[in-house]
Amino acid sequence: MKKMTGSVKIAITRYMVLSIVLMLTVITESMAKTNTEKTGILLVSFGTSYAEAQVALDNIDEEVKKNFPEIEVRWAFTSNIIRRKLAKQGRHVDSPAEAIAKMGNDGFTKLAVQSLHIIPGVEYESLKKTVDAFNQIPKGVKQLALGKSLLYEHDNIKELCSKLERGFPTTRLDDAIVLMGHGTFHQSNIYYPGVQYYLWQLSTRYFMGTVEGYPNLDDVLFSLKKQKIKRIWLMPFMSVAGDHARNDMAGDDADSWKSILEAEGYEVKPLLKGLAEQDDIVNIWINHLKDALYELEN
C-alpha cells in the first residue's frame, strides 16, 4: 500500500465525516417524515342515550378495529340533545368539530371521518360541512376525507336489501316484515321508497315505513291489507334500537306501531335489533371507510 501524505489523509477524513453527516441527515429526515404522518379514524354517529342500544355502536367499533388494527379509532355524536343527555349522566362524547380539533392537537395529520348515518340527509350534510371547513384550516389535521353514509350509491340499496333479508326471522307465507326507518323532510327521504322498491323485488311481504317521512305507516297498512298476513315482525331500520324502536315502534302506548297494527287485527312481534348489530350490514360502512382511507393516500 502506498504511503499517504498528510494532506491526502485530511482530505479523506473530511470526506468521510461529510458523508456520515449527509447520511445521518437523510436518515433523520426520512424518520421525521414517517413520524409526522399520523392517520386516524373518526366514527360519527347520531348517537344514542340508551345503554341497551350502545351494543350496536360497540359492534361497529369492534368491526372497524378488526379491519384497521393499526389505526386509532375515536368517536363523535352529531346530536347535541343526546350529547347533553349523556353529559348529565356523566359521560362526555365529543361533537365532530371537537373530536377533529382534539385529534389535530394530538398530532393526527390525516383523518378518515366515517358517517354512520343511514342516508345522506341533514346530519350527513352538516358533518360534510364540518369536514370541508377543517380541510380549509392550515393548522391541525392537514387532510380529511368523509366516508359515505350506509346508503349513498344506488348499489348500496340493493346490497342492503339482500343483507337485510338474511337477517329476517321468518319465511312463513302468512308472516310479514315491517321495517321502521326514521324518515326526513330532506330530499334524501327518497332512499326509503328506494328500499321498498328492492324489498318488493325479494318479497311482497316486506315493507318499509318511516316515522317522520314516506312511506308512512298508512302506506304500509294499505299494501299489507291486500295480502293474507296474520303475523307481523317489526324491526328498526336504524343503526341502533334506541328511542324510536323502543317507544314509537315497540312501545305499549296506543300510538305505537305495535299497538296500531294489533288494533288492525295482526299478531305483532317487535325485534329490538339495530342494523349495526348485523356484521354484514356494518361491512357496507367499512367499505365506505376503506374508500375514505384510500382517498387520503392519493
Annotated catalytic residues are 182
Of the candidates 192, 76, 92, 201, the one whose C-alpha atom is nearest the C-alpha of residue 126 is: 76
d(CA 9, CA 164): 79
Paired sense of beta strands 143-147 and 206-210, if any: unpaired
Paired sense of beta strands 110-115 and 143-147, if any: parallel
With contact defined as beta carbons under 8 Å apart, do 39 and 110 qualify? yes
DSSP string for residues in 225-252: TTS---EEEEEE-SSS--HIIIIIIT-S
Question: Which cell goes with 116?
Answer: 354512520
Residue 183 neighbours by CB under 8 Å, 6+ apart: 189, 192, 210, 211, 212, 213, 214, 216
Residue 83 neighbours by CB under 8 Å, 6+ apart: 47, 77, 93, 95
